[in-house]
Chain A
Amino acid sequence: MDRAVITHAHHAFPGSRAYLAARPGEALLRARVGADASIQPLDYAESVHLNGVRVSLHPAGHILGSAQVRIESGGEVWVVSGDYKLEPDPTCAAFEPVACDTFVTESTFGLPIYRWPPEAAVFAEIRAWWAANREAGKASVLFAYSLGKAQRVLAGLGACLDPADGPIYTHGAVEKFCRLYREAGVALAPTVHAAAAPPNTDWSGALILAPPSANGTQWMRRFGPHSTGFVSGWMRIRGARRRRSLDRGFVLSDHADWPGLMSAIRTSGASRVWVTHGYRAPVVEWLKQQGLDAQAIETRFESEQDETGAEPGESAEADL
Chain B
Amino acid sequence: MKAFAELYAALDETTKTNEKVDALTRYFSRVPPADAAWAAAFLIGRRPKRLLASRKLAQWAIEESGIPDWLFGECYHAVGDFAETIALLLPPAQSSSDLPLHYWIEERLLPLRDADDEARRASLVSAWRDMDERQRFAWNKIITGEFRVGVSQSLVVRAVAAVGGLDAAIVSHRLMGDWQPTAAFWTQLVTPGTHEATRDADVSRPYPFFLAYPLEGSIEELGDIREWQVEWKWDGIRAQLIRRNGRTFVWSRGEELMTDRFPELEALGAQLPEGVAVDGEVLPWKNGAPLAFAQLQRRIGRKVLGPRILSEVPVVMVAYDLLELRGKDIRERPLEFRRAWLEEMLEDIAPSDSALMVSPIVRADTWEDLTARLQEARARKVEGFMLKRLGSPYRVGRRRGDWWKWKIQPYSVDAVLIYAQPGHGRRASLFTDYTFGVWDGGKLVPFAKAYSGLTDEEIRQVDAFVRANTVEKFGPVRAVKSELVFELAFEGIQRSPRHRSGIAVRFPRMARWRTDKKAEDADTLETIRALLPPGGAGSTD
Contact = CB atoms under 8 A, between A and B. Distances in A.
Interface stretch (B78-86, B210-218, B347-355, B496-504): B78-86
A236 interface: yes
B467 A113 contact: no
B426 interface: yes
Contact of A242 (B68, B92, B426): B426
A243 B427 contact: yes
B244 to A, nearest CB: 43
- The residue among A112, A245, A285 with the most chain B CB atoms within 10 A of its own CB is A112
A226 to B, nearest CB: 12
Given A239-B81, A307-B463, A113 B429 contact: no
B430 interface: yes
A298 to B, nearest CB: 13
B12 A237 contact: no
B89 A239 contact: no
A303 B467 contact: yes
Interface string A281-307: 110011001000000000000011101
* Interface range, A side: 20 to 34
A238 B12 contact: yes
B67 interface: yes
The binding surface of chain A is classed by DSSP as loop
A113 B89 contact: yes
Given A239-B81, A239-B426, A240-B428, A111 B456 contact: no
Contacts of B65: 112
A111 B78 contact: yes
A201 B463 CA distance: 40
Contacts of B78: 111, 113, 237, 279
A10 interface: no
A248 interface: yes
B88 A115 contact: yes
Contacts of A281: 74
Contacts of A115: 88, 92
A239 B427 contact: yes
Interface in A69-122: 111-113, 115
A191 B85 CA distance: 38
**Residue in B14, B88, B430 whose Cβ sees the most chain A Cβ within 10 Å:** B88
B70 interface: yes
A239 B80 contact: yes
Nearest to B460: A308
A243 B88 contact: no
Interface string B415-448: 0000000001111111000000000000000000
Contacts of B427: 239, 243
Interface string A124-145: 0000000000000000000000
B122 interface: no
B201 interface: no
Contacts of B460: 308
B15 interface: yes
Contacts of B75: 111-113
A247 B428 contact: no
Contacts of B106: none
B71 interface: yes
A280 B429 CA distance: 15
B312 interface: no
Nearest to A110: B74
Interface string B446-464: 0000000000100010011
Nearest to B15: A245
Contacts of B89: 112-113
B63 interface: no
B429 A307 contact: yes
Interface in A213-238: 236-238
Contacts of B84: 237-238
A238 B84 CA distance: 8
A286 B430 CA distance: 24
Contacts of B372: none
B12 A242 contact: yes
A271 to B, nearest CB: 22
A239 B70 contact: no
B468 interface: yes
B81 A243 contact: no
B361 to A, nearest CB: 45
B425 A307 contact: no
A111 B425 contact: no
Given A113-B85, A247-B13, A307-B429, A237 B74 contact: no
Given A113-B79, A245-B15, A248-B13, A239 B425 contact: yes
Contacts of B467: 303-305, 307
Q: Which residue of B15, B65, B75, B467 has the most chain A CB atoms within 10 A of its CB atom?
A: B75
Contacts of B68: 289
Contacts of B456: 243
Interface string B256-293: 00000000000000000000000000000000000000
Contacts of A304: 467-468
B429 A239 contact: yes
Contacts of B81: 238-239
Contacts of A279: 74, 78
Contacts of A245: 15
A286 B72 CA distance: 12
Interface in B362-404: none
A243 B425 CA distance: 9
Interface in B458-487: 460, 463-464, 467-468
A14 B475 CA distance: 38
A41 B13 CA distance: 45
Sort A-B residue pairs by CB-CB distance and give the 10 closest, nearest first.
A239-B428, A242-B426, A113-B88, A243-B426, A304-B467, A282-B74, A113-B75, A239-B80, A111-B75, A239-B426
15 contacts: A112-B67, A113-B78, A113-B85, A237-B79, A237-B428, A237-B429, A238-B81, A238-B84, A239-B429, A243-B430, A303-B468, A304-B468, A305-B467, A307-B429, A307-B467
Given A237-B88, A238-B84, A303-B467, 16 more contacts: A111-B75, A112-B67, A113-B85, A115-B92, A237-B79, A237-B428, A238-B12, A239-B428, A243-B426, A243-B430, A243-B456, A248-B13, A281-B74, A282-B70, A285-B70, A307-B430
